[in-house]
């Protein structure tokens, strides 16, 4: 008698494929160097076993994976599938996947090992077609705090190019056509030292820093909105001050993470912050917001593929967080975020919908397979949109 699994519907078999691969990926603690090396080795072996040749290179001691399938002609339309293996740290038990109904729970399930598993299957699905070139890139440092040097940025600088890039960040099967900009800064707040037994004789810099942050939260820029965002986000990420328990601290530094709107100017935001007394911005990092036209022919093709797989309408959405899509946008390559359904990324109950992994795989597959006819039907203004609006705002 044949195994029971062979009698299941094809769609169910697809779901088991993506789920099984996602579970294998979750089990690797890729918040660590050893876990990243192990997971990259597994992915490389899995692709090899499915007849997809994959190259690996070292980036600051971490593995970057690259595969290139489909069309070989230089003029062929080229799509980049981009994913990341790394996750934020978690407790050991979070790397043991748990299934609860349609939910696959575990660190990275939503951000983005579930998407990566389905993306890998989609890559295999489209490997034999010859009309579209698909480049697959899997990086180990999307979650890194090192904002100055990341592997995706370096790959793009070295010449990684395509006509459209798609990164599998969480979007609940909607298409992320906008992302907020990043303004991260370190501010120093000055006070006056005194003995800890007489705090009224000093001016506590830590307390002043807290008050200053509360003022930042109420500055005029904090109350603005745009077409896809109701407000910017402002987070007090780190605060450090004081050098002795019996002393009123006279110095404090705080790190603030502001995700500003596409219609906002980061220099104007900094000017508002500089106007706060006793606060000096001593270090800053700015990354521009991302905008891709909703009329871009690749976005339209992806929308149609997702609508078919999802059995309903698909929204163009704005993303609060930043991602490696920026590296492609900075090089003039239209790039969107697109991932499966789930919730809780970076949290204790992170999960991804198992059924959405199948729909995600089907959408990526159909996007590539039907892209030639979609591009052939694009009007001249739509084609121009790719060049005019396919980068930064």
Tell me where in the chain the CATH 3.30.70.360 domain(s) lie. 181-287
Question: Are 289 and 354 within 8 A, CB to CB?
Answer: no
Question: Are 66 and 137 within 8 A, CB to CB?
Answer: yes
3-state helix, strand, coil in the chain (%, to 5): 35, 25, 35
Q: Which residues of 210-241 are buried (b: 16+ CB within 10 A; e: fewer)?
A: bebbeebeeeebbeeebebbeebebebeeeeb
DSSP-derived letter for residue 4 is: G
Residue 274 has a CB neighbour count (10 Å cut-off) of 11
Q: What is the pTM of this model?
A: 0.81
Q: Cα–chain-centroid distance for residue 345?
A: 11
Which pLDDT value is given to residue 319?
Answer: 67
Q: What is the dihedral of CA 24, 25, 28, 29, to 10 degrees?
A: -140
Written as tens digits, the pLDDT of the chain (393 aa) is 333 333 333 333 344 499 999 999 999 999 999 999 999 999 999 999 999 999 999 999 999 999 999 999 989 999 999 999 999 999 999 999 999 999 999 999 999 999 999 999 999 999 999 999 999 999 999 988 776 788 999 999 999 999 999 999 999 999 988 888 899 999 999 999 999 999 999 999 999 999 999 999 999 999 999 988 999 999 999 999 999 999 999 999 999 999 999 899 999 999 999 999 889 999 998 888 888 888 899 999 999 999 988 877 777 777 676 678 888 988 999 999 999 999 999 899 999 999 999 999 999 999 999 999 989 887 544 444 444 343 333
CATH 2.70.70.10, applies to 181-287: no
Residue 9 has a CB neighbour count (10 Å cut-off) of 8
Tell me where in the chain the CATH 3.40.630.10 domain(s) lie. 4-179+290-388
Whether residue 361 has a cis bond before it, omega within 30° of 0? no
* φ, ψ (nearest 5 deg) of residue 285: -135, 130
290 DSSP β-pair partners? 179, 392
Instruction: List strand residue ranges (DSSP E) for the chain, in order.
Output: 54-59, 62-70, 78-84, 98-100, 103-105, 133-139, 164-167, 175-179, 181-190, 233-241, 251-260, 279-287, 290-291, 316-319, 335-337, 342-343, 351-353
Which pLDDT value is given to residue 113?
Answer: 98
164 DSSP β-pair partners? 79
The CATH number for 4-179+290-388, chosen from 3.40.630.10, 3.30.465.10, 3.40.50.300, 3.30.390.10, is 3.40.630.10
Count of all residues that appear for the chain in the document: 393
Which pLDDT value is given to residue 393?
Answer: 33
Instruction: List strand residue ranges (DSSP E) for 288-346, in order.
Output: 290-291, 316-319, 335-337, 342-343
Which pLDDT value is given to residue 9?
Answer: 37
């Amino acid at each position: 008698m044949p195994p029971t699994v062979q009698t299941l519907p094809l769609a169910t078999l697809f779901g088991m494929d993506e789920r099984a691969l996602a579970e294998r990926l979750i089990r690797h603690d890729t918040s660590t160097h050893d876990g990243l090396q192990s997971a990259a080795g597994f992915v490389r072996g899995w692709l090899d076993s499915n007849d997809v040749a994959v190259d690996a290179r070292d980036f600051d001691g971490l593995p970057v994976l690259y595969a290139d399938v489909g069309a070989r002609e230089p003029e062929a339309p080229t799509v980049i599938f981009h994913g990341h293996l790394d996750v934020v740290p978690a407790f050991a038990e979070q790397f043991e996947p748990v299934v609860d109904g349609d939910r696959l729970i575990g660190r990275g399930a939503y951000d983005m090992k579930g998407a990566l598993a389905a993306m890998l299957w989609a890559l295999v699905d489209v490997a034999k077609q010859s009309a579209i070139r698909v480049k697959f890139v899997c990086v180990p440092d999307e979650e890194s705090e090192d904002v100055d040097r990341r592997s995706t940025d370096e790959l793009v600088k070295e010449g990684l190019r395509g006509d459209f890039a798609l990164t599998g960040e969480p979007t609940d099967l909607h298409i992320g056509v906008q992302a907020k900009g990043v303004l991260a800064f370190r501010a120093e707040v000055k006070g006056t030292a005194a003995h800890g037994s007489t705090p009224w004789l000093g001016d506590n810099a830590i307390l002043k820093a807290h008050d200053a942050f509360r003022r930042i939260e109420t500055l005029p820029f904090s109350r603005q909105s745009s077409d896809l965002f109701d407000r910017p986000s402002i987070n007090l990420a780190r605060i450090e001050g004081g050098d002795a328990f019996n002393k009123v601290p006279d110095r404090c530094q705080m790190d603030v993470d502001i995700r500003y709107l596409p219609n906002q100017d980061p220099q104007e935001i900094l000017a508002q912050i500089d106007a706060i007394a006793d606060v000096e911005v001593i270090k800053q990092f700015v990354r521009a917001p991302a905008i891709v036209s909703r009329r871009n022919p690749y976005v339209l093709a992806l929308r149609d593929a997702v609508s078919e797989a999802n059995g309903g309408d698909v929204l163009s959405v704005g993303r609060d967080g930043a991602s490696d899509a920026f590296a492609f946008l900075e090089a003039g390559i239209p790039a969107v975020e697109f991932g499966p359904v789930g919730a809780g990324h970076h949290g204790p109950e992170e999960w991804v919908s198992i059924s959405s992994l199948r729909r995600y795989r089907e959408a990526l597959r159909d996007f590539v397979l039907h892209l030639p006819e979609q591009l052939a039907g694009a009007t001249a203004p739509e084609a121009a949109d790719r060049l005019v609006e396919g980068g930064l705002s």
